[in-house]
Every structure is written in C-alpha cells, then in structure tokens.
Amino acid sequence: MAGTASIFSILALIGFILSLIAHLAGYAGIDRPFGINPWPLHVGIFVVWFPAVIAARQLSKDFPQKDMWKAALRGCPKWMQYAFYSLFGYAFLSFFAFFISVGDGESEASTVRGFSGHWLIFYFAAFAILRSYVSVSQGDTVRRCKNMHVVEPAHVHCPECGEHVGRQY
C-alpha cells in the first residue's frame, strides 16, 4: 500500500495547492481562478480522503483513540504537524468569518473562499497522513508506545513508561 499511498499523497498535495490558489483568488475577488469552475476540488477531497482514512486507521490501530492524530502524523516532520494544526485553526476561523459575512453582497468568489478553507485542511490532512504512512512503512519497523518509546513485539505494555500498546499480531 505504500506505493499507492505515495500516488494519493501527490494527488492530495496537488489538491492542496489548487485549493490554496482558489482560496487566495477568493480574497482577490476572482470567481474562476483557473478559468474554469473550481468546484470539482470539492469532490476531489473524497478521492484522497478515503485512502487517508485507511492509512490513519493503520497508523493508529495500536494507540488509544485520544492519540489518533499523534499516531497518524508520527511519520511527518514537525513542521508538517504544526502546519496541519495551524491550518485546522485557520479553516475554522475562515469559515466563521465566511458565515458572518454571508448576506453582505455575497459573490461566487466569497463562496469559493468560504469553502476552500475546508478544502485546504482536508487536502493537507490527507497529504500529511499519507506521507506519514509512507514514512512509517519504509523506516519505522519498530513498535512504539504513544510516547514513542520502543516496545518489543511480545510486550503488551511499554517497559519505559508503562503505557498499554496491545499485542502485535
């Protein structure tokens, strides 16, 4: 699946870049930043999101539910994790600002700007999760607890911090 994840991560990155262009064009008042309707980006999320969900489930299966994002993004560089959380906050604020401004002479560009904030986070999350999956599957063959301590396959608990890691199958 790592090869497939690489392909979908590239598609997610392209979707993110196109969403960013559409988002910035919305601020500039440009209705159709590519000369065509940008709404297919709305549907494109599902193309990359389903593989990302499968990869996230694989990455987080031995971790507690509350640490799902930490586990799913563990193969990403720190800057990518920070960018993900920052984009999540930005998407929330962007949609809130869009929601407040609805009715103030709404245009196609402002609607695209409102929705493209969500496109940004979904495409970037898919990109980060899939890159993490590829990185972990290629380089992290060692089992770890949620605190990233090495745990032997036969252990159910981390010998260093005592966290439950489950059985390796």
106 confidence band (pLDDT: 50, 70, 90): low
Domain that holds residue 52: 2-139
Q: What is the three-class DSSP state of 32?
A: coil
The CA distance from 58 to 157, in Å, is: 19
Q: Say if 166 falls within a structural domain.
A: no
Q: Say if 66 falls within a structural domain.
A: yes
Q: Say if 39 falls within a structural domain.
A: yes
Exposed, middle or buried: residue 66 (CB in 10 Å: 0-12, 13-18, 19+)? exposed
- Whether the pTM exceeds 0.85: the reply is no
Q: Say if 87 falls within a structural domain.
A: yes
Exposed, middle or buried: residue 154 (CB in 10 Å: 0-12, 13-18, 19+)? exposed
Structural domains of the chain, count = 1
Q: Say if 148 falls within a structural domain.
A: no
Q: Say if 151 falls within a structural domain.
A: no
The residue among 167 and 93 whose pLDDT is bigger is 93
Tens-place pLDDT, residues 119-139: 999 999 999 999 999 988 887
pLDDT higher than 60, residue 67? yes
Q: Say if 46 falls within a structural domain.
A: yes
Structure tokens at 52: 């990302």
Q: Say if 28 falls within a structural domain.
A: yes
- For residues 42 and 115, the answer to whether their CB atoms sit within 8 Å is yes
